[in-house]
Amino acid sequence: MRLDPTTPSLLGLPLAWLGVFFVLPIAIVAAYSFDVYSLNPGPHGFTLGAWRGFVHDPVYLRLFWKSVKMSLTVSAIIVVLAYPLAYYLALSGTKRKYVLLLVLIAPFLTSYLLRVLAWMVILGDQGVVNSFLFWTGLRSPAHPISQLLYSRFAVMLVLGYIWLPFVALPIFVSLESLDRRLLEAASDLGASRLQAFRRVTLPLSLPGVAAAFLFVFIPTLGEFITPSLVGGATGYMYGNQIVDLFGTGFPDWETGSVLAMFLLGVVTVLTVAFSRFLQPRQVATD
């Protein structure tokens, strides 16, 4: 096929921008992870030292596994919570479904940090929950429930709160595009509602569920903002470790680059594995 002469001029700028400011930076991180570049003066060249250290040091992999478990739990819980919401909007025949969808999603479009702030106000030792308990006499002010804030629980609650509205969206889209005639056919053939759901609706909505799951799992896996604000010691995640290795205390850019490349590798594998669920419809039907 003949290349339209204007295509390079259309794609040139966007591709150059991503090449220089997206692909090249990642290549530099890879170079640091192999010690091709280094923060330390003196001789250095290609070695696998930092990678070997990463694989043999149980601290990093254990922390990674802990973060995987935390974000898996959060993603699974909120996908399960979001499914009925999306189902209600898409299939209950409510007339105001787009208004309700907007109501559901609007909190997601407001500031991330301010939503974390709201939970700090709610969960703190002097916060809304505890001070309410003191006020009603259910708990003495000397003994607040202090595990509420600065804990793994707080991180997971806040992450779930932040991502819940967003998760409903891909599920809604897949349910909305469901051909209702299939359900009528199932019903005509004698299927109960539950059977129709299990054999028709659920399987056909799985791509949306998979996309929703991935869209939450990936950002929460690399999360460092919420854990650093509400996580305390027990809520410390893999992303915090990466930030700390590039921090001002004892920077170790080589190890930090290894951690970052490992996370990127895992995310890339997941994205490719799930990619058929992630294709925007428009691209898929091209």
Partner 1 sequence: MDVTLSRNGARALRVFFAFVVVFLYAPIVILLIFSFNNSAVPSFPLSGFTLHWYREFIGNSDLRGALETSAIIAVLSSIGAVLLGVLASIALVRRRFRAKPAVSALLLSPLVIPYVVFGISLLLLFHQLGIPRSILTVVIGHIVICIPYTILVVMPRLQQIDVSLEEAAYDLGATRLRTFRSVTLPLILPAVVSAFLIAFTTSFDEYAVASFVVGTRVTFPIYLYSALRFPSQLPQVIAVAVVVITVSLAVVLAAEIGRRVAERRLGALESG
Residues 40-79 that bind partner 1 (CB under 8 A): none
83 binds partner 1 (CB under 8 A): no
Distance, CA of 180 to CA of 201 (rounded, Å):
9
Interface positions, 133-172, toward partner 1 (CB under 8 A): 134-135, 161, 164-165
Q: Which of 36, 63, 73, 246 binds partner 1 (CB under 8 A)?
A: 246
Q: Specify the stretch interacting with partner 1 by CB under 8 A; choose among 41-49, 58-66, 99-107, 145-153.
A: 99-107
Number of residues that bind partner 1 (CB under 8 A): 95
CB of 52 to partner 1, least distance (A): 21
Q: What is the DSSP string of the chain?
A: -PPPTTHHHHHHHHHHHHIIIIIHHHHHHHHHHTTSS-SS-S------HHHHHHHH-HHHHHHHHHHHHHHHHHHHHHHHHHHHHHHHHHHS--TTHHHHHHHHHGGGGS-HHHHHHHHHHHHSTTSHHHHHHHHTTSS-TTS--TTSSSSHHHHHHHHHHHHHHHHHHHHHHHHHTS-HHHHHHHHHTT--HHHHIIIIIHHHHHHHHHHHHHHHHHHHHT--HHHHHH-TTTT--HHHHHHHHTSSSS--HHHHHHHHHHHHHHHHHHHHHTHHHHS-HHHHT-
CB of 15 to partner 1, least distance (A): 7
Question: Are the CB atoms for 227 and 85 separated by under 8 Å?
Answer: no
216 binds partner 1 (CB under 8 A): no
CB of 267 to partner 1, least distance (A): 6
18 binds partner 1 (CB under 8 A): yes
Q: Specify the stretch interacting with partner 1 by CB under 8 A; choose among 48-56, 88-96, 148-156, 202-210.
A: 88-96
Q: Which of 3, 59, 142, 233 binds partner 1 (CB under 8 A)?
A: 3
248 binds partner 1 (CB under 8 A): no
CB of 102 to partner 1, least distance (A): 6
Residue 22 or 250 having the CB closest to partner 1: 22
Interface positions, 217-236, toward partner 1 (CB under 8 A): 218-219, 221-225, 229
CB of 126 to partner 1, least distance (A): 5
249 binds partner 1 (CB under 8 A): no
Distance, CA of 98 to CA of 201 (rounded, Å):
21
Interface positions, 110-139, toward partner 1 (CB under 8 A): 110-122, 126-128, 130-132, 134-135
How distant is the alpha carbon of residue 271 from its chain centre? Answer: 12
CB of 75 to partner 1, least distance (A): 14
